[in-house]
């Protein structure tokens, strides 16, 4: 007997990508569409630590922040939520292993110039404070792109896609992912409410 509720609730997307790529904003829209809570890993860390991201970096350094980030990721991943991660969450091997074990992982990829324009001057992102955002992103991309590639089940090349079009593309992917995982079960279970079937047209 097919447990359709369980099948539906197994679509727990994890969003990855560099700073400024829209993980939180796309995550919000996605969480609404899927009827899941959004957990923004940075917010989760901030609430748990009772400190802002710049305060954590100042007091504990980047490695201290990465410790908190790994701890937070291990706590949240796999829960019935849409999970938006910080851009550096792929840096640790243990985190990558967790992501690989918890599909579907979606990489929101935009040009570095676009991202730099969005984040330049943002005081809440310690890695770019007092630095040229584009140069920093180029350095980060060199290290991180292989990790994003390793973890991602799907890469959304945002290009000129606005939020609605990006959301639509991600939802289409999730529908195909869900079908691949549970195709037989879903087709045997016609008539059941499926959140991925009731997306409003754009
Ligand atoms: C970081 C990205 C930030 C935040 C921290 C470090 C990074 O999150 O986790 O400032 O290493 O790229 P966003 O990607 O949401 O900006």
CA 157 – ligand 1 centroid, Å: 20
Cβ 57 vs Cβ 125: under 8 Å: no
Own/partner contacts of 113-121, CB < 8 Å, gap of 24 or more, are 114/20, 114/158, 115/18, 115/19, 115/20, 115/21, 116/20, 118/20, 119/19, 119/20
Residue of minimum CA distance from atom 12 in ligand 1: 87
Given this model, what pLDDT does residue 103 score? Answer: 86
Separation of alpha carbons 12 and 194, rounded Å: 14
Per-residue pLDDT tens over the stretch 58-93: 999 999 999 999 999 999 999 999 999 999 999 999
Q: How far is CA 137 from CA 7, 12, 56, 107, in A?
A: 38, 28, 21, 16
Distance (Å) from CA 95 to ligand 1 centroid: 15
- 90-121 per-position pLDDT tens digit: 999 999 999 999 989 999 999 999 999 999 99
Instruction: Give the contacts of 106 (CB within 8 A, at least 6 positions apart).
Output: 13, 14, 15, 16, 152, 153, 154, 155, 156, 170, 173
Map tokens 């890993």 to a residue. Answer: 41
14, 15, 17, 19: residue to mutate for ligand 1 pocket, most atoms within 8 A of CB: 19
What is the whole-number distance in angstroms between the Cα of residue 105 and the centre of ligand 1? 17
What per-residue confidence (pLDDT) applies to 180?
85
Among 25, 48, 127, 136, say which to mutate for ligand 1: greatest number of ligand atoms within 8 Å of CB. 127
The band of 159, judged by pLDDT with boundaries at 50, 70 and 90, is confident
CA-nearest of 123, 102, 142 to 18 is 142
Range list of β-strands (E), 50-126? 81-84, 105-109
Other CB atoms within 10 Å distance of the CB of residue 57: 17
- Cα 64 to averaged position of ligand 1 atoms, centre (Å): 14
Rg of the Cα atoms in the chain:
17
What average pLDDT score do residues 117-136 get? 96
State the pTM of this model: 0.89
Whether residue 196 is preceded by a cis peptide bond, meaning omega within 30 degrees of 0, is no
Q: For residue 191, is pLDDT > 80? A: no
Q: How confident is the model at residue 196 (pLDDT cuts 50, 70, 90)?
A: low
Question: What is the phi/psi pair of residue 113, to 5°?
Answer: -65, -45
Helices then strands, counting H and E runs in the chain, come out as 8, 5
1 pLDDT tier (thresholds 50, 70, 90): very low
Instruction: Decide if pLDDT at 21 tops 50.
Output: yes
Model pLDDT, residue 2: 39
């Amino acid at each position: 007997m097919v447990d359709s509720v369980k099948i539906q609730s197994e679509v727990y997307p994890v969003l990855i990508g560099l700073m400024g790529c829209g993980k939180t904003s796309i995550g919000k829209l996605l969480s609404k569409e899927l009827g899941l809570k959004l957990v923004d890993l940075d917010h989760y860390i901030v609430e748990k630590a009772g400190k802002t991201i710049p305060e954590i970096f100042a007091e504990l350094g980047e490695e201290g922040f990465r410790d908190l980030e790994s701890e937070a990721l291990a706590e949240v991943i796999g829960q019935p939520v849409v999970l938006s991660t910080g851009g550096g969450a792929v840096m640790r091997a243990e985190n990558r292993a967790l992501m690989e074990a918890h599909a579907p992982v979606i990489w929101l990829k935009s040009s570095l110039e676009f991202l730099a324009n969005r984040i330049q001057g943002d005081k809440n992102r310690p890695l770019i404070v007092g630095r040229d955002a584009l140069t920093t992103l180029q350095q980060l991309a060199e290290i991180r792109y292989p990790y994003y590639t390793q973890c991602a089940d799907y890469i959304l090349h945002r290009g000129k896609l606005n939020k609605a079009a990006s959301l639509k593309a991600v939802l289409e992917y999730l529908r195909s992912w869900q079908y691949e995982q549970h195709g037989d079960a879903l087709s045997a279970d016609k008539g059941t409410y499926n959140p991925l079937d009731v997306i409003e047209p754009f």
